[in-house]
Amino acid sequence: MKTKIQTLLTQLNQGLVSREQVLKMGLLTLLSGENLVLVGPPGTGKSLVARRIAKSLADDAAQASKADYFEYLLTKFSTPEEIFGPLSISALKADQFKRNTEGYLPTVRMAFLDEIFKASSSILNALLTILNERVYHNGAQAQKVPLQALIAASNELPNDQEELSALYDRFLVRVFVDYVGLSQLPQLFEPTTEPELAPADLLSVQDLAQIQYNADHVHIAPELIAAVQDIWAAHQEAFKEDRRESLSDRRLKKTIHLLRVSAATNGREAVDLSDLLLLKDCLWNHPDNAEKVRELLMRTLQNQSRQVLLSGEGMVATAALSALASSSSTHASTKQKPGKPGAVVNGYKGSGTADDPLLIESAEDFTDLARPEVGQQGYHFRQTADLDISHISTWPEIVFKGHYDGGNFNIQMTHVAKDTGSSTLNKFFDRFGSFEELKFRLFAKLMQSNVSQMRMQGCGLTEIAENKCVITHCTTTSSLVSNARNSELVSCEADGYLIAENATKCTFSSCFAKESIADSLKSCQIKRCESHAPLVNSEAQNSQIEDCLVLLDSYHVASNESQGGVAATCEKSDLSRCFVAGEINGNGNFSGIIHNAESSTINHCALGKITGEYKLSSRIAHEFDSDCKHSKNISIDSVNSFTHSTKSNKTRAWPMQSFGQDSGIDGDSIASATFKQRYFEHTLGWDFDTVWEWDKKQNRPALRQVGVQAATAAPNKPADPNTVDLLTQQVQANIWL
């Protein structure tokens, strides 16, 4: 069936320019038994697309003597007789109200109604049951309508007409059709040829019935159900103040059926991530929100995706999909085992390979990772459900070496029992003095591990991450890691610190922390990260920090504290293109970028608007030693500080009025009128194509992507030639995309 549909799509697209995706969505709508509305200006071929799709249906023996396609242009003056047929004179003589519907909309399998939203209320009311229940109320009789799909067209959508909202909601799929681009205009000089479809290429009644049967038996894995839930939640959050956008229960049911039909027509027995991408044309009402829907879909699907292994013959789609579906029968029958030959992991489904991971389905599955023969053998694990670990009174000390994919499911700890059974945690208890302050971690140690897509509530990830650990797309309501050595964190988020204590020889990319990225750094790199407290709480040594954003959130500087927006102390480190702004309170010492810089460079950094009951000690740095270098650092001129003079071998702050002129300590003063993207992009050399964007509302730069919304792979990191992104792989194999 997949091959037949691909052939049919190729033939239907013959002679058309830039209409392939419109045809695909139209044909998928037809196969799903749904309705489609095409939105676009006149003269874009909307009716031509509808006629082509109608041609894909083979003649039905039961319809042999009847018309199989109906087309009409509606106006506000159109009458029901034009759409549903004239009144029956003989029925009227018998005191019955009945229409002769033969050859009209209630008797065809495919229909096209142009300018549908301009129709009168009498027509629209009758359409409601035809579109949804496939029933036409012909007088006292409920007449079954054989309609497989109705395609409508309109120059505009009824977003400001509440009386049309019920009709509009019955069109599951909405697709834009625009004029051909300038580069494709020469193709319009070619004659538009009609496709010659052989009877064998057409979709028969039996084909449609088989597709529906296969779709009814398509499996939707728990991960995919969770992904749909995430999409619905993200949609609700994104449009909570936009009354034009809502998702009805009817739309959810129809969406699920569309996903199943997509899988079935692709020859699959399970829905995959690529099918969910089709929702880009189903989950918006107002055209202005179509792009927002696409963005939230991509964020959710990228979070669900992962790298999967390539086989010697190419991409192992079957193995990847079975891993995604997490079918119990598949895991039970798998013979391949990881690690040592003949290794068996009792109590788990799966074999522990990348293609067939061991499943974490319960809190007990997770705590069993404490067994060295389970958690330290390099196995692949995948979480398949939300876990509440609050009931576990004695938490084991888990040392982990392997691969853990959290699948974006939650792990929740609402409280921590005092008897943790972990010597490391007990040391934390002694230090903090109360378990309300205890930063509970799931793992005692991660070694040579890859951990991704974990969502933690009330707990952090690990006490120690070391020896080439890679942590990606993880979030926590606490702090993520206590100490990290020789590890990499990509696209992670924490409501506390990302690294609560020390980070050594680590790389941070596209991460976010409500507090600091780390307490202290040594030989680290931080790129494209954001924090709402100083980026590094204390000292950065031998480190590189670039393209970072610090938005101070009511940050308090204690009287005995010396602090800077990026770090308190910077030694033998390089800072470039960092931006600091926000609210500061307290009476300690605070400098805009660095408080004390030694043998370091600070280039192209900027200080934005600072509010609060505090006056900066300096706008860029409080102290520079003679080995420091600095250039093109700026501050908006509304921010005042102490100016500086040279004393001994260091430049220090003295209480004088600042006039800027890039002394290195206060930077150049930039008027708010020129404190714009143009200056940052062309004078300071910031990248506004891939890294930064301009927040017009706040009049300051912002990172394009940070935290879990950022791209799956670390930027500039070479892809593993032995792996492929699962979502990319599935999209390439999906005939509808």
Last residue of a domain, one of 204, 226, 250: 204
182 shares a domain with 43? yes
610 shares a domain with 699? yes
586 shares a domain with 518? no
Q: Is residue 718 a part of any domain in this protein? A: no
Q: Is residue 710 a part of any domain in this protein? A: no
Tokens of 222: 């728990």
Q: What pLDDT is stored for residue 59 in this prediction? A: 80
3-state percent breakdown (helix, strand, coil) of the chain, nearest 5:
30, 30, 40
656 shares a domain with 552? yes
Q: What pLDDT is stored for residue 415 in this prediction? A: 58
Q: Residue 371: which pLDDT band, with cuts at 50, 70 and 90?
A: very high
367 shares a domain with 315? no
Q: What is the mean pLDDT of residues 135-153?
A: 92
pLDDT tens-digit readout, 337-347: 333 333 458 88
pTM above 0.75, yes or no: no
Q: What pLDDT is stored for residue 732 in this prediction? A: 85
610 shares a domain with 517? no
246 shares a domain with 369? no
Beta strands in 558-642 (DSSP E): 562-564, 567-571, 574-586, 589-591, 594-598, 601-603, 606-611, 621-625, 629-631, 634-636
Q: Residue 61: which pLDDT band, with cuts at 50, 70 and 90?
A: low
Structural domain including 733 reads 217-334+726-737
Tokens of 383: 């979480």
- Write the CATH number for 185: 3.40.50.300
Last residue of a domain, one of 529, 558, 580: 529
228 shares a domain with 179? no
Q: Is residue 46 a part of any domain in this protein? A: yes
The DSSP secondary structure of 99-119, one letter per residue, reads B--TTSGGG-SEEEEETGGGS
Residue with tokens 């449609």: 208
Q: What pLDDT is stored for residue 723 in this prediction? A: 67
3-state secondary structure of 476: strand
Q: Is residue 209 a part of any domain in this protein? A: no
Residue 585 and residue 557 in contact, taking contact as beta carbons nearer than 8 Å = yes
**How many Å apart are CA 258 and CA 270, to the nearest integer?**
13
437 shares a domain with 325? no
Q: Residue 66: which pLDDT band, with cuts at 50, 70 and 90?
A: low
Question: In 3D, which of 477, 513, 508, 484 has the Cα closest to residue 497?
Answer: 513
Query: How many CA within 13 A on the CB side of residue 265?
Result: 32
Q: What pLDDT is stored for residue 624 in this prediction? A: 78
Q: Is residue 212 a part of any domain in this protein? A: no
Q: Per-residue pLDDT for 420 more than 50?
A: no
pLDDT tens-digit readout, 676-701: 999 999 999 999 988 999 998 899 99
**How many Å apart are CA 84 and CA 80, to the nearest integer?**
6
Q: Per-residue pLDDT for 667 more than 90?
A: no
Per the structure, the count of domains in the chain is 4
Q: Is residue 716 a part of any domain in this protein? A: no
- List, in sequence order, every residue forming a beta bridge with 78; answer none if it has no partner: none
Q: What is the mean pLDDT of residues 260-273?
A: 94
288-291 LR contacts (CB < 8 Å, sep 24+): 289/239, 289/242, 289/244, 289/245, 290/174, 290/176
Q: Is residue 9 a part of any domain in this protein? A: yes
Q: Per-residue pLDDT for 94 more than 90?
A: no
443 shares a domain with 350? yes
Q: Per-residue pLDDT for 414 more than 70?
A: yes
Helical axes 726-733 vs 317-325, angle rounded to 10°: 110
pLDDT tens-digit readout, 575-620: 999 999 999 988 888 888 998 989 999 999 999 999 887 777 888 8
377 shares a domain with 516? yes
- Cβ neighbors of 94 (< 8 A, separation 6 or more) are none
pLDDT tens-digit readout, 698-719: 999 999 888 877 654 333 444 4
Q: Is residue 712 a part of any domain in this protein? A: no
**How many Å apart are CA 467 and CA 488, to the nearest integer?**
10
377 shares a domain with 320? no
